[in-house]
Structures are given as structure tokens and as C-alpha cells.
Amino acid sequence: MNIIKLKNRLKSTRILVVGDVMLDRYWFGSADRISPEAPVPVVRVDKTEYRLGGAGNVALNIAKQGVRVNLLSVRGDDQEGRELESLLERNHIESHLLIDKQLSTTIKTRVIAQHQQLVRIDFESTPTHEVLNQALKRYVDLVSDADAIVFSDYGKGGLQHIAQMIREANKADKCVLVDPKGVDFERYCGASYITPNKSELRNVVGPWESEKELTQKVNTLRRDLGLTGVLVTRSEEGMSLFREGHSLNFPTSAQEIYDVSGAGDTVIGVFAAMLASGCDVEESVAFANRAAGIVVGKLGTATVNFDELFPESE
């Protein structure tokens, strides 16, 4: 692998990310006493930090590889939405965030003390049909310029039209990757690859007792949905790639698992970036697996940049 050539290919690659964008807010502090009101720690917050979450974190992981990224999503007409726009601009991600005046921007607040997450507080609502229809029209305009399309489904309602979006991408002969959510995988029919974790997969195909049974269940799902492949992330067991006629396991490269928040975003982001830049599928998965092993060693929603992934390029 010529790292310089790969880096140059990535710079000329363009990816469109579509999905549920959110703002991740971190409150860092210390917890030195228990509340007299209830048996819970009192956290004295001394630092607030904002990060891109959901589809925004997927886009950021792709951008960190040097790829040009467009992000299509919906935000509220609020301070959190404006903070999202600012973060995207600072990270050189081209934003196509439609404003829904009836929507509150999705925000996840994590309270951290002594390097431990104590609680997560979520604020979310569902986009209106009118704004989602506008997003579909914008999507049709953006598809032709992308080398690959990534759908980041967090179940927040932003991908109501995903089935139609996948059909549009297929008509344009684009590679389509989906990080799925929920139990209705039929809506991802016709995608190139989906990247469920083992829990999400189990909810759809049921439990398995052996690798043979897992392979049978995944291949049935793959054929039923018309997928090229299924990449299953399996925590400490690494990843497994299932395609027509064979499967391949990738053992985890994590040295230490500190926080798995957003690891799935890193996997699909790096996988998409490498695949769209011309790497073969197995090579792309291997790089995504390496990236996952790095990001789980970081606190909170995090990313892996090109130089971390390929330290020999520095």
C-alpha cells in the first residue's frame, strides 16, 4: 500500500452523508459528595464541550481522512443548531442543514466526573414532513457529485425517505452504505453495504448458537435485501464481513476499550472513505477495524484522523 497515493486519492474523493445529525454536549466536572436530597453524586461542572454527533460524527470521521464531505440533515432554529453549523464549518464539512422551525435540535448531554460518564440526558423531537420533503429534493441535487452515499440512521426520523433515496442512488450507480437502526431493515433494500452491530443484527435475525448459524442468517438477510455485503461490528470479537459465497473475520485491534461512544460512526466513515477512494472491500474493512481499535481508546464521541490510522505517513 502506497500511503502517499492513498492520501492523494482520498483528497479527490467526495462523499455525501445523510441522516440524523445531533449535537453532543459534555459537562466535565468533579463529584466529591453525595446530594442530601437523593442518593446521587453532586457534580460541580467546570468545563463544557460541544462535539458533532450522529451523522455529524460520521461526516467528521470521513473529513479526517482528507475526503471532501457534504452533510444533508435537518436542525432546529435554535442555539444548538447554530452551534452544529459552526462545528461543521470549522471542520471543513459542507453543510446542507435544513431548518425546521418546529424542531428542537437533537442534543445529547453527557455528565463526566473523574473520567466516568455518570448520566446522559437527551433532548429530541421528530422533523416535520414538509422539511423532510425539502431534504429529499436537495438530496436528488447532491447525489450526482458524490462518489459514495452514507446513511447514518439514529432513529430520530430524519431518514423517512431512505428507501426512495437508495433507489435514486442506485439509478446514479453510486455505492450506498447504511449504518442501520431498529428492526425494519427492509427500508435499506438495495443498499451496497449495511454495518449493524451484533445487538442490532440480533434484533432483526434472531439469536445464533454458532458461527455457521450466524453466517446462514446474515446471508439470508443479505439476499432478501439485495445487499452486496453486511459488515457486522462485534465489540471484542472484532468485525465480520459477509458477501456472496464467503465471510471473513477481522479480530479487534483495540489495545484498551475506554469508551465505545460513536465507534460505529468511525467504522462506517472510514470504511466508506477507503472504499470510495478505490481501496478493495477487504482492505477498506481492515482500515475501518484499525480505526475502531483507536477510537474506543478515547473519551466520548471521537474521531480518528489519517495520520493516526497511518502513522508511517508522518
C-alpha grid cell for residue 55?
451523522
Q: Report the interhelical angle of 55-63 vs 263-276 (nearest 10°).
A: 50
C-alpha grid cell for residue 138?
436537495
- Out of 20, 265, 280, 307, pick the active-site residue: 265
20 is catalytic: no
C-alpha grid cell for residue 184?
425494519
Cα–Cα dist 262/299, whole Å: 10
Q: Output the DSSP codes for 119-173.
A: EEEEE--PPPHHHHHHHHHHHHHHHTT-SEEEEE--SSSTTTTHHHHHHHHHHTT
Cα–Cα dist 82/191, whole Å: 32
Query: What are the b/e assignments for 231-244, b being 16+ CB within 10 Å?
Result: bbbbbeebbbbbbe
Amino acid code (one letter) for 313:
S
Residue 310 burial class via C-beta count within 10 angstroms: exposed 0-12, middle 13-18, buried 19 and up: middle
Q: Which residues pair with 45 in a beta bridge?
A: 29
Distances (CA, A) of 233 to 23, 58, 137, 287: 24, 16, 33, 13
Cα–Cα dist 69/92, whole Å: 8
The three-class DSSP label of residue 210 is coil
What amino acid positions are annotated as catalytic residues?
A: 265
